[in-house]
Amino acid sequence: MIRNLVAWGLYPSMLLTGLTATHLGLQAGYNVTPIAMGVVLLATLPLIIAQRFLPAEESWNPDLRSYKVDMLHMASTAMATDLVRATSMGLVLQVAVVMHGWFGRSFWPDSWPLVAQFALGVAAGDFGAYWVHRVCHKLPLLWRLHAMHHSSEQMYVFAAARNHPMNAILMNAAHLIPLTLLGAPVEIIGLTTVFTGLHGMLQHCNVDLKHGWFNHVFATADLHRWHHSADMEESNRNFGNNLIVWDWVFGTRYLPGGHPEQLGLGDVSLRENFVVHLVSPFWLNRLLAPRPPSA
């Protein structure tokens, strides 16, 4: 019974709890950045425990080296997130102010209920992220930034943090710019940021979750694991960051059932070394090596 409760309840309960905590913190007057970072950091604890007792695949439990590398990635990605808030958000906010002066109003529907505004924020941010993500798989230059995220050959919670800082800036900007141009308030930006952080860990975690109808709306782990398949035909699908809606619309949703046979970068591997990962966009072809036969 406990296993079924975790399998069916962990996904929605973590998202709802995180969003509620963020909303209450903002209502109490706390700054959005530490709230968002704190909520996402605390959410790793139940996922680490669930991975231990309810894994989707035993072979996806990482070794100590992968844990160390991905914890370093988590730190560097956090810095990249702060950088994008300090630079791109400020620049785009300035554009929004100028546009507000032209049109005399914000495009954002402030009169809508908070839940409706949040839904619009997730959909608008994910539209930008969907297309940037899809282009990253098509253009060789952007693939160099993005490939390192696909280098993990296990799917577990910290694999979400395996992200080159430049790729993190790009994806965060893709999510943030549509919201800023539309004039979304800080609370909506904060809620969607927390939702994205929590959802990223949930879709990468090695937990045997049951998603049911959520698979038709959200980019759950069931779908996102196929995006990390070592088969490039399979991995060039399911580009949604939080939602699978845009994949439905543009014909890239893929859910055959089960799990991919292998994860990673096809028949090549990237060494489990943080420095190698950081320089990989500049020397990607030189750093890739044939996947060991035992992998």
Average pLDDT value for the chain: 87
Residue 219 lies in a domain: yes
What mean pLDDT comes out for the span 147-167? 88
Residue type, 232: M
In a domain, 295, yes or no: no
Alpha helices in the chain (DSSP H): 2-27, 32-53, 64-86, 88-103, 114-136, 140-146, 165-182, 186-204, 221-227, 232-235, 245-250, 274-279, 284-287
pLDDT digits (tens, 9 = 90+) for 178-236: 888 888 888 898 899 899 989 999 999 999 999 999 999 999 999 999 999 999 999 99
Mean pLDDT, residues 130-145 taken together: 96
Has residue 108 been placed in a domain?
yes
Q: For 39-72, what is each residue's pLDDT tens digit? A: 988 998 899 899 988 999 988 876 767 777 887 7
In a domain, 129, yes or no: yes
Does residue 235 lie within any of the structural domains?
Answer: yes
What range does the domain containing 16 cover?
A: 2-290
Contacting residues for 131 by C-beta, under 8 A, at least 6 apart: 174
Q: What is the pLDDT of residues 65-121, one digit of tens each?
A: 777 788 777 777 666 555 555 555 455 556 655 655 665 557 789 899 999 999 999
The predicted structure's pLDDT at residue 143: 96
Domain total in the chain: 1
